[in-house]
A = this chain, B = another copy of it.
Amino acid sequence: MEPQGDARRKLKQRLNRIAGQVAGIQRMVDEDRYCVDILTQIAAVRSALDSVGVELLTEHVSSCVIGHGTESEHECAKPMTQEQLVEEVKTVLGRFLK
């Protein structure tokens, strides 16, 4: 199994878990659970999303931005220069850190 596929499989697992956590929060609201317990779960999902973001962004830099113009670049191929790719990374980072 090549890394790409492995990374993708892990990403799917993480997103499944996040979807499950969100469903759990919905149940907590339905059951009128204590607000602070709900907030704790919301903070947990937020952290999980951040981890996925860090993972995905690093993979993107590794395989698409650095690997630009090489065979290793897979579906990321877009008609962009490496400079444009770096600029795009900056934009997406700014969406997390603002």
Contact call A50/B98, Cβ cutoff below 8 A: yes
Per assembly, the copies of the chain total 4
Give A34 to B65 CA distance when docked, in angstroms.
12
Interface size on A, residues (CB 8 A): 59
Contact call B95/A98, Cβ cutoff below 8 A: no
Of residues 38 through 76 on chain A, the ones whose CB sits less than 8 Å from some CB of chain B are: 38-40, 42-47, 49-62, 64-66, 75-76
| Known contacts A43-B96, A46-B46, A65-B66: A38-B56 contact under CB 8 Å | yes
Q: Which residues of A pack against B, CB within 8 Å?
A: 8, 11-12, 15-16, 18-19, 22-23, 25-26, 29-30, 32, 34-36, 38-40, 42-47, 49-62, 64-66, 75-76, 78, 82-83, 86, 88-90, 92-98
